[in-house]
Structures are given as C-alpha cells and as structure tokens.
Amino acid sequence: MDRELLQVRDASRVFFVRSREGVLPLAAVSKVSLALKRGECVGLVGESGCGKSTLGRMVCGLDRPTSGQILFDGVPLPEAGASSPLVGRVQMVFQDAFSSLDPRMRVGRTVAEGLESRGFQKRRHMGREEIRDTVRDIFARVGLAGMEGRFPHEFSGGQRQRVALARALVTRPDLVVCDEPVSALDASVQAQVLNVMRDLQEEFGQAQLFISHNLAVIGYMCSRVLVMYLGEIVEMLAAADLRRAAHPYTEALYRAMPGRGLAGEGPVVLEGELPSPLNPPQGCHFHPRCPRARDICKKKAPDWRELAPGWRVRCHCAG
Ligand SMILES: Nc1ncnc2c1ncn2[C@@H]1O[C@H](COP(=O)(O)OP(=O)(O)O)[C@@H](O)[C@H]1O
Ligand SMILES: [Mg+2]
C-alpha cells in the first residue's frame, strides 16, 4: 500500500519565553502540514530562526507539538524515549557531529550502540559478530573503511559528519532528518559529504527530510522543496520548478544563490531581518519585506492555493 511514511497535520509548537513584558508565547512552528513518501528526499529551507530545527525535532519524536498531529507509517507519534517504535526507524543527523559524539568512545562503539539499543533489538536481535560486521560495512560505505577504532578527535570535520551518517544509517532507518548536515563544513568538503549522502540515499532508499538555510544544497539533494518563513510553510514545489518559484520569498532565496540568478535580472536582496516570532507581522508574515506587498497582505493571512499538482503557495500576489 502506498501509505505516506510521514504525515504532519497542522502541527504547531509554542515555547514560552521570558521577556521584559513577562512570559510570552513564541510560535516556533505554526500549523504546518506536510507528507513524505517512502524513499523521498524533501528539502526544508528558510532563514535561521524560522522553525526548521523545531519541526525536524518533532518529526523525530525529540519534541512534541503543542497542537496538531504527527503520524509515522500511519501511527500517531507517541512520546520520545527508548521504547518508542521510532527507535532505529527514524534517525537524525545534526550540524555539529563533534558535540553529538562521545569524545572518549571509539566511533565504532558509538555506531554499534544504535544496533544494541533495546528498542531496536526488540525488533531484530543481532549477535556480537553480526553487529561488528554491520558496523564495519557501514564505515566502508561512508568512505571510512577500517576506521571504527578511532576516537572522534582523530577525524576531520567532514569525516566526523560521515561518522554521524554511519550512526544514522546503520539501523537502515525509513526516515533520516538531516538538520544542516554540512553547514559547518568548508565548501569543498561540503560537496564530498553531500555526494556520499546522495549515493547512500540512492542505495538504501530511506526517505529524507533535508534541512538547510542554503537553497543550493537543497536543490542538489532534494526532489521536492518546502519553504518556511516565520514558523509557516509558504510554498511547496518541485526542486525543478525553483527557478519559477511563485512565492516572492522563495524567489528571493533562489536569486540569492550564487550563479543562479534569473536570466537578465540582478539579485533580489531581502531587506531587513526575519521578524521576531514573539511579535509576528499582521496579515501575511512576509509583507514587511515583500516587494509585491499590497493592502490586503497587511490585513489578511493568505490561504493555500494550488498552482499545479504538488505545487502550492500561500501568497495573495502569486500565480
Ligand atoms: N527550546 C526553546 N525555547 C524557546 N525558544 C525556542 C526554543 N527552541 C527554539 N526556539 C525559538 O524558536 C524559533 C525557531 O527556532 P529553530 O527551530 O531553531 O529555527 P531554525 O532551525 O530554522 O534556525 C526561534 O525563534 C528560536 O529562538
Ligand atoms: Mg536550526
């Protein structure tokens, strides 16, 4: 059955933060809905602070929505924890592998722990030799053959991201959430790591939610793109359609990509910064920075509009 692997339905996450005016609600993620099919690689792009990591953490069961629902393989996500049915089936790769690796543990041991965890062993018991062989195999596949015995500090930044990848993929998960996995690396190393990730995605066929503030990275890795602005998804489209994006925000992100500007036009540089989610603008959240803003944009939040199958946008002026 072609059931969606992941469904996010109207998920919101509100944090309560202390400020001079007292404790205020901060809507980090607001009524986000999305779906991922098996094997699909979907990108989530937007400026820093727009809610990407919060959404990614909720998808992995590391955080819970304040309202709304997340279903994995048709089943509503329960609380996080070692007994969660997500153990081994959903994995996360973070930006900074160094801080997520135990500095005193050989990396092979760290990777083996995923296979030994109780939740995973409940589904599939593995003996010691099988664990050792599986770990050896995954190290070879990420391009670190024979390096299982090393410690984290003995690797370069790019190699450590490969260790993080090995740890995520060793359980053959159905879904990997990659949160800015190459953003901390030099450009040349980024390309290497992205190539390894692309090859392994093709080989293992896991679905991926690939989070980045860099649209070039997303365009390289993903077939479909979700564009996020101030806690909301504002456009969903095929990566191939990015160059004719409907939302002015997507367009601005696209034009800001080096070497990818729309033919004959200069880059559109977004004015101002992402507004504070503590005090979001009325109407369309994007209107204060939008070159196309009209009166209605200041008053009314736009509804979703479908431009073509799989292409949806929330903008009064688009399409
Ligand atoms: N634990 C938290 N407590 C309070 N505010 C948070 C917390 N986590 C994230 N936020 C706020 O939620 C918003 C979205 O953050 P985040 O999801 O990290 O965005 P991104 O990953 O796109 O940079 C930001 O304004 C951030 O300050
Ligand atoms: Mg983040």
Span 60-113, pLDDT tens digits: 988 999 999 999 988 888 755 545 667 789 999 998 877 888 999 999 999 999
Flag whether 296 is in a domain. Answer: yes
Span 164-196, pLDDT tens digits: 999 999 999 999 999 999 998 988 899 999 999
Strands 207-212 and 232-238: unpaired
Distance CA 306, CA 311 (A): 6
**Contact 167 CB / ligand 1 (< 6 Å):** no
Distance CA 215, CA 230 (A): 17
Query: Which CATH number goes with the domain that contains 46?
Result: 3.40.50.300
Q: How far is the CA of 54 from the centre of ligand 2 (A)?
A: 7
- Write down the pLDDT at residue 135: 97
Q: Which domain holds residue 209?
A: 6-89+171-313
Query: How much of the chain, in percent, has pLDDT values that exceed 70?
Result: 93
Strand partners, 39: none
- Write down the pLDDT at residue 263: 46
At residue 319, does pLDDT exceed 80? Answer: no
Q: How far is the CA of 258 from the centre of ligand 2 (A)?
A: 22
- Write down the pLDDT at residue 269: 62
- Write down the pLDDT at residue 260: 60
Span 211-246, pLDDT tens digits: 999 999 999 999 999 999 999 999 999 999 999 999
Flag whether 149 is in a domain. Answer: no
3-state secondary structure of 149: coil
Flag whether 254 is in a domain. Answer: yes
Q: How much is the mean pLDDT over the chain? A: 91
pTM value is 0.93
Q: Using CA of residue 289, residue 293, residue 296, residue 297, what is the dihedral sign?
A: negative
Strands 311-313 and 232-238: antiparallel
Flag whether 130 is in a domain. Answer: no
Flag whether 28 is in a domain. Answer: yes
Ligand nearest the Cα atom of residue 181? 2
Q: Which residue has the higher pLDDT, 126 or 269?
A: 126
**Residue range 290-318: mean pLDDT, rounded:** 95
**Contact 213 CB / ligand 1 (< 6 Å):** no
Q: How far is the CA of 130 from the centre of ligand 2 (A)?
A: 36
Distance CA 196, CA 203 (A): 10
Span 106-163, pLDDT tens digits: 999 999 999 998 888 888 889 999 999 999 999 999 999 999 999 999 999 999 999 9
Please count the structural domains in the chain.
Answer: 1
Tabulate helix, strand, coil % of the chain (nearest 5).
35, 25, 45
Q: How far is the CA of 184 from the centre of ligand 2 (A)?
A: 12
Flag whether 45 is in a domain. Answer: yes
- Write down the pLDDT at residue 91: 93
Flag whether 249 is in a domain. Answer: yes
Torsion of CA 227, 48, 73, 119, to 10 degrees: 170
Strand partners, 11: 32
Flag whether 125 is in a domain. Answer: no
Strand partners, 19: 22
Closest ligand 1 atom, residue 48 Cα: 23
Contact 59, 29 (CB under 8 A): no
- Write down the pLDDT at residue 267: 53
Q: Which residue has the higher pLDDT, 309 or 265?
A: 309
Distance CA 165, CA 185 (A): 14
**Residue range 308-312: mean pLDDT, rounded:** 96
DSSP 192-249: HHHHHHHHHHHHH--EEEEEES-HHHHHHH-SEEEEEETTEEEEEEEGGGGGG-SSHH
